Amino acid sequence: MEDLHEYTALQLHQLLQRGEVTPVEATGHFLARIERLDPVVGAFAAVTPELALERARAVERDVPRAAPLWGMPLADKDLHPRAGVPTAFGSRAHADHVPDESDDLVDAVDAAGAVSLGKTATPEYGLPSYTEPLAGRPARNPWDLALGAGGSSGGAAAAVAAGMLPFAPGSDGGGSIRIPAASCGLVGVKPSRGRVPAGSGLDRVAGLGVVGPIARTVADAALLLDGMVAPRGYPPQHPFAVRAPGEDGPYLGAAIRGEGRFQVAVMTETPWDDFTDIRLDSSARAALEAGIALLDRLGHGVEELAPSPEPGYPGAFRTIWQAGAATIDVPDERHHRLEPLTRWLMARGRTLTAADLASALSWLAGFERRTIARLAPFDAVLTPALALEPRPIGWYDAEDGEANFAQQVRFTPYTSFVNVAGLPALTLPVHDTEAGLPMGVQLIGRPGGEATLFALAAQLERAARRGRRRPPVW
């Protein structure tokens, strides 16, 4: 038998189901791997070995093996509280915070039979698209430790890419699953708004933030998403679930079969084009061209999507982003512990009026309708995952909020509009740079179109024939 981290999450799940590996053995293996690698990678905000082993024993003893994620190791993003475990939200202002209650997502993965090994690193309150919090270490890219892992689920992506976890849940309010997944050569899935009851987005400003999986393969991502959507198995039994249109899953079947022929549009313009200079670097363009070539070879219909400028988008989205930051609950006496970017966003947000917020929400609602109608003729839309290669640690301006925001937009201009439209999206690697960095593409689906995305991504994954590539820290 290979070392457990060499198996895909699906293979590990099968070993657990057959009784060839126990939850305690799997937990112990990945805890040892974290102990060896995380001092270099910086993926974890906290590791909880005693609690993890106690939980693994409880799963073996008390949880039915039919639970969708029975015995599977993972970790909670530091934005999602777990009762009794320090949760700092990536901030020095909450360094001593120990919650009394768990987040809905934490409860969901527990109900599915998973075993949490700790908390994965996130930037302060998950606001930026990189994970270099002053409250902890930067999350480094396992493919090149001088580069960042992206954000805000950067710790989760770094842990999965380095084989410290088989997969991990993340959250995505503007690309925070897809950006780190693409940075670290992984599969990242942002579900439709309303798809996952424990993180539907319906309770967020403009419905932006949802939860989803980060994994090494398309099937692994589908396995975790199934457990998040229906933690007690299908059909979902959550009494307050609000479903997106389409089938409720399970998605693992679609990811394994990888069947169907689809009509795919290619989009290269972004709604940020009038805000700053958006340029695809050569690696991002090569990844897009590789994705197009794979689609052609597989027999899918591919056509270029005509541009449709949206000059009102940058202002409206910035208003919502700043308004969200303004609601962060930090006592005045702890404001000096906040990072400059957070203070800038909060200050801007607190100058907004009710009319400003109402106007932005109304504009974005119209943008959502226009975007869904524009993309409706296609089964999926292909875009670059990132406009640039993963950024070096320390690349972002830490003091100037305006400059920092523009840098983030130039790095990842293709993700936030998908959140505004409430659509599902999936990123996966299809190309490698000369230096060996994986680069990916993004597939955007119709509302409730996750099954199509998994089927199409599985075909691309097989056709790309990238094999079991491993980063240098492996």
pLDDT in tens, 267-279: 999 999 999 999 9
Mean of pLDDT values over 281-287: 98
- The one catalytic residue among 91, 116, 129, 176: 176
Is-above-0.85 flag for pTM?
yes
In one letter, which amino acid is 169? P
Q: Which long-range contacts (CB under 8 A, 24 or more apart) does 205-209 make?
A: 205/320, 205/323, 205/324, 205/327, 206/320, 206/360, 206/361, 206/364, 206/420, 207/419, 207/422, 208/173, 208/174, 208/320, 208/324, 208/416, 208/419, 208/420, 209/171, 209/172, 209/173, 209/419
pLDDT in tens, 104-141: 999 999 999 999 999 999 999 999 999 999 999 999 99
Residue whose C-alpha is closest to residue 44's, from 104, 133, 113: 133
- The one catalytic residue among 77, 102, 129, 192: 77
Is 192 an annotated catalytic residue? Answer: no
Strands 301-304 and 263-266: parallel
pLDDT in tens, 42-61: 999 999 999 999 999 999 99
pLDDT in tens, 372-413: 999 999 999 999 999 999 999 999 999 999 999 999 999 999
- The one catalytic residue among 91, 129, 152, 171: 152
Average pLDDT, the chain: 96
- In CATH, what number does 4-464 get? 3.90.1300.10
On whether the CB atoms of residues 60 and 138 are closer than 8 A, the answer is: no
pLDDT in tens, 161-194: 999 999 999 999 999 999 999 999 999 999 999 9
pLDDT in tens, 208-217: 999 999 999 9
427 membership: H or E segment, kind and range:
strand 425-432
Q: Which residues contact 144 (CB under 8 A, 6 or more apart)?
A: 390, 435, 437, 472
Is 190 an annotated catalytic residue? Answer: no
Domain positions in the chain are 4-464
Is 119 an annotated catalytic residue? Answer: no
Is-cis flag, bond preceding 250, omega within 30?
yes
